[in-house]
Every structure is written in C-alpha cells, then in structure tokens.
Amino acid sequence: MSRLFSLALVVLAVVLIAPTAALAAPHLPPAGQVFHGGTGGYDENSIYRFARVSGRRPDVYQWFFTPSWTRRNPSSLAWQANLLKLATRTGVHPMFHLSTAAGGHGGSVITPGQIARGDGDGYLVDLAQLIEASGQVVYLRVMAEMNNWNNPYSAFGAAGAGRGGDHSSRAYRQAWRRIALVLRGGPAAEIDRKLGALGLPPLRAGGETLARPAVALLWVPFCAGLPDVRGNGPGDYWPGAAYVDWVGTDFFANSPNFPCLERLYRDRRWRDKPFAFGEWALWGRDDPGFVRRLFAWIHSHRRVRMAVYNQGSSFPALLRLRPGGAAELRRQLR
C-alpha cells in the first residue's frame, strides 16, 4: 500500500468519524465589528425603545423561553415563528435562549440526562425545520449559566451539594453534544453513528435527513461557579470545541470581577472561539464607569464579537432607568 494511499484512508476516516464540525459556523459580524445586542420584551416596540435608549438599533435581539421539550407543541413553535418574523421586520438577528426551567424559573420540564437520551429530539427537529424554513441566521444560547445553582440544569445546589445523575455536569455535556448534532442536521444515519460513538441512543425523531439550519451555538457559563465549589467551574461543563460556535459569559455591574473574566477568556480550551457577552447589564445601580471599563476591555480583547444588554421586562436593569450608563453606552456605540 502506497504512503499516499494510506494517508488518503486516514483523512477519509477522520472525515467519517469527526463531529459535524464542518457544518458549524459562528456567523460573525463584519471584520473589526462587534454585534450590539439587546434583550427585554417580546414585541416590536420593545426593540424600538431599546434602540432609542441605547442610541442604535441592536444587531442581535434575544428572547428567553422554555420549550415543552418532551412533547410536540404547535402553539410554542408558532410563537417562535412569530419572533423570527418580528426579527425580519425590525432588521435584527434573532437569538433564542433555550432553558429547561418550568415557567422560566424553578423546577425542570426536562433534565440534561433526558435530553442526552433523546427525550427532546422531537422539539429540536421541529426547531431546526422552523429555522431552516425562515432562511435566517439564528443564535442559540443553550442552557446558559449552567454553573449557577439557580438554574435547574446546574449540577450543584446552593449549598454546594451535587444534584447527581441526570443533573451532573457529564449529563450536561452529553446533552449539549446531542443538541449540536441534531440542530446542525444532515443524514440521520450519520448523526446516529456520531451519537453512538458518544455512547448515546440514536435519534428519536426526524426522517432520513434532518434540516440544516443556519444556527450558531453559544456556550455561556459564569466565569466562576455559583457556588464556587470543585466540579462547578466553567470547564466542568465544556462539551468540546467541535460542538460549540461561540464562548462567552454573563457580566453585571454589581459583580464586576474582571480578573475572573480574563481567566475565562484566556482558557486554552476555547481560546480560538469568538467571545460573546450573552448578557451584560447595569444591575442595581447607574454606573457609567462600569460601561466605560467594560467597553475598554472589549476593545482590548479582539475575540469579543458580541455584547447583549439584558434589561428584561421587569429586570432591575432597565436601561431607561440608568440615564448615566445609557448615555455612556450611546457614546461607546458611536
């Protein structure tokens, strides 16, 4: 067997067994630019109000929701379809945060372990089809702040006790990998092979070929665990570079831990990924100094390509109630 032919076989084997990394795409802003994003409200006026207060229409607008996950829910999908249409009308890129928290808070409608075993496949297949049909690029922030005990998909409770089993960090990693494979789509047989290589069951929904929507997956932990105990650091939930398009964090004025932020940014495991602030906010007080410091940090860290301000609808960070910070944000965006 010639050396060249042997090399070709090796390359072919790598292509066949590798995760669907070839389909991954971060869908970055134009070179040298950072996406300005907003969150807060589910109608057009919310986006326009945020644009007026921040001084610029957001490039990305984020909506939070908890899917039914374990059952097909046409009304939920219709609601998401309306949000995609709203994004088109207002000229923003849509971002969905996918949670498992019932009612947005509290207990789980599904555990990471159940997602890993395929209980959420039906919803994921439907979502992929919906996004593909829309023709839009959609940013998906999946189960963010996973190392924050307030979220039911975190592996630890408030006192630092592990939740174990289907809530473990391993279950989270496996759930994330399955979500990435299903949402990136392609031939079902190929996805089943990759799931099998991960020790996961085959697909439980979809036909011979799954939709291939234009999605970018954002993996967004806190820079340190809450609680900060062994096993609850960001890296404990890292599913691997092949399954993640963006890395980021959430960062607020009431806890501006820049050394922690720096460590997360520079971690070798994801230092080649674009970086995003999935949420940032003037939480608790008006603090233009925090805005200046954060944007100085963004300017000096070239991998930062997105910063999404989260003011919620009743969040203690409404930008219009922070006139000094809002004015500084407008200055920075200019």
What pLDDT does residue 316 have? Answer: 74
pLDDT, tens digit only, all 334 positions of the chain? 443 333 333 333 333 333 333 357 899 999 999 999 999 999 999 999 999 999 999 999 999 999 999 988 888 899 999 999 999 999 999 999 999 999 767 789 999 999 999 999 999 999 999 999 999 999 999 999 999 999 999 999 999 999 999 999 999 999 999 999 999 999 999 999 999 999 999 999 999 999 999 999 999 999 999 999 999 999 999 999 999 999 999 999 999 999 999 999 999 999 999 999 999 999 888 999 999 999 999 999 999 999 999 997 667 778 999 999 999 999 999 9
Quote the pTM value. 0.92
What pLDDT does residue 282 have? Answer: 95
What pLDDT does residue 116 have? Answer: 98
Within the chain, residue ranges assigned H as helices are 3-17, 44-54, 74-90, 112-117, 121-134, 169-184, 188-197, 258-266, 288-299, 323-333
What pLDDT does residue 22 have? Answer: 38
What is the domain partition of the chain in residue ranges?
29-55+256-334, 59-244
What pLDDT does residue 242 have? Answer: 97
Which residues are CB-neighbours of 5 under 8 A, at least 6 positions away?
Answer: none
What pLDDT does residue 21 have? Answer: 39
Write out the DSSP string of 108-173.
Answer: BSS-HHHHHHTTTHHHHHHHHHHHHHHT-EEEEEES--TTBTTSTTSSB-TTS-B--GGGSHHHHH
What pLDDT does residue 26 have? Answer: 96
What pLDDT does residue 314 have? Answer: 65
What is 59-244's CATH number?
3.20.20.80
What pLDDT does residue 72 have? Answer: 85
